[in-house]
Structure 1
Amino acid sequence: MPETSTAIADIHMLDRGYSREARSLLYQAYRHEPTFAYLFEAERPGYEQRVRATVRELVKQHFAQELPAIGLLVNDRLIGIALIAPPQRRLDVTESWAWRLRMVLSTGLRCTRRYLEYHAAVAACVPGEAVHVLPLLGIHPQFQGKHFGEQLLQAVHNWCAVDEHSRGVVLDSGNPRYLAFYQRQGYEEIGEVAVGPVREHVFFHANPQVLHTATA
């Protein structure tokens, strides 16, 4: 996710009215990701439909729980999004039997099991309950390389830092292209998970007040 431009997007808190745009953007952002390629069997017919279904169910559940989402808009077009699970309201989507059933029906039992195992392994790396977690985030491929990824993360950090009970932000990636980018944004790696042949890296970014307390 190299960032070279200085373009500025409008930052908005999103609600379920943006569900369709959010699903479309996140599908474009994740369909070529190594982690999703393994979880949903890119080598088998129907891969794109399985990715679409997974993104649809995750976005649907997120907005149904009225959890926060930050979006970047350029000329009223959604070009970047981060779904946020706050510490006080971080309900585990995978614990919903209705969600699991919809996943099995739309992606198959094997892919659903793979996703649940991946989700549990990443969750085991999260440093306690007092953190914000980003289950999905992305910049539309047409707008990558233009500084928007940095803007999106900065907006997330600013929003999460208002919560004095949060230690920081956690995200994960199995794409080696993004690892150095996250480190430049102040993330440190706190765990690594094997997702089939993919090495999933779990990152943590401390909130400013946490850094201040540690250095005071």
Structure 2
Amino acid sequence: MQTATASDMDPSAEPTVVRLDRTAVNEARSILYKAYRHEPTFHYLFNERKPGYDRRVRATIRELIDLYFELDQDAIGLMTDDTLVAVAFLGDPALRLNLARQLSWRLRMMLTAGFASTRRYIDYHQQIRARLPAEQVHQLPLMGVHPQYQNRGYGRLLLEAVDRLCKDNPRGQGLVLDTGNSRYLPFYESLGFRNLGEIRMGDLKEYILYRDARPQEH
């Protein structure tokens, strides 16, 4: 697979949902880096004002993707014209991942992203875990659309594919994701997500959002 470029784009191409394996690692890293590097959450977590910000973001995305593949979690993407343009990594309800206990991951993070960024990221992750519903839920820690393919409805298509995975897993009762960008809230609300709560990160609010995996019966 190849990473999207301007010359690759075909507005009429119909996207296809695909399952990702390790052959897609480089493409997934590139898409998520481009999707996340300007997000407020990453600016705060990895201190954009300090030299080496891009390196810390790349290292964190790399280590998180590698961890989710090591744990054999679901990873899907959208393809157009043999080009991967969007990706999502989904945590199984039984996982309820605790990064503080992932010792090899912590070591790799400290060696690549640095001690301060690793500690800040783990604290952020622990605050989200503390606000998860009591029931078993899927978590969506990584999702992004290549910037050149945004505003085409691909994010909605990707979340619909994630929703189908959640509904196919009888252990999960819902889906949790988070965002520090308030302009995304109307989009998520239009898809049935509701706010579980907020966490403070400096001057930033991080919104934790939840949607039932199955519609309620009336």
TM-score by length of 1: 0.92
**Could you give the per-residue CA deviations for residues 59-97 of structure 1, whole angstroms, max 9, x where no partner exists?**
011111111111111111111111000112344344211
> Distance between the aligned counterparts of 1:115 and 1:129, measured in 2?
24
- What corresponds to 1:77 in structure 2? 83
> Distance between the aligned counterparts of 1:95 and 1:32, measured in 2?
29
- What corresponds to 1:51 in structure 2? 57
1:67-216 to 2 correspondences below 5 Å: 67-208=73-214, 211-212=216-217, 215=218
**Could you give the per-residue CA deviations for residues 79-122 of structure 1, whole angstroms, max 9, x where no partner exists?**
11110001123443442111111111112211111111100011
> Distance between the aligned counterparts of 2:204 and 2:20, measured in 1?
31
- What corresponds to 1:60 in structure 2? 66
TM-superposed CA distance for 1:128, in Å, is 2.4
Q: Is the 8 A contact 2:198 2:208 kept in 1?
A: yes
- What corresponds to 1:22 in structure 2? 28
TM-superposed CA distance for 1:131, in Å, is 0.5
Residue 145 of structure 2 aligns to which amino acid in structure 1? I
TM-superposed CA distance for 1:14, in Å, is 1.0
For these two proteins, the number of residue pairs brought into alignment is 208
Q: Is the 8 A contact 2:135 2:173 kept in 1?
A: no
RMSD (CA atoms): 1.5
Residue 84 of structure 1 aligns to which amino acid in structure 2? L
- What corresponds to 1:41 in structure 2? 47
Secondary structure in structure 1 of the residue aligned to 2:94: helix
TM-superposed CA distance for 1:22, in Å, is 0.8
> Distance between the aligned counterparts of 1:83 and 1:194, measured in 2?
24
Residue 147 of structure 1 aligns to which amino acid in structure 2? G
Q: Is the 8 A contact 1:7 1:148 kept in 2?
A: no
Residue 179 of structure 1 aligns to which amino acid in structure 2? L
Residue 94 of structure 2 aligns to which amino acid in structure 1? Q
2:15 paired with 1:9: yes
> Distance between the aligned counterparts of 1:131 and 1:157, measured in 2?
12
Secondary structure in structure 1 of the residue aligned to 2:152: coil
| Structure 2: stretches of 5+ with no match in the other structure | 1-10
Secondary structure in structure 2 of the residue aligned to 1:138: strand
TM-superposed CA distance for 1:132, in Å, is 0.4
TM-score by length of 2: 0.91
| Structure 1: stretches of 5+ with no match in the other structure | none
TM-superposed CA distance for 1:188, in Å, is 0.5
TM-superposed CA distance for 1:152, in Å, is 0.5
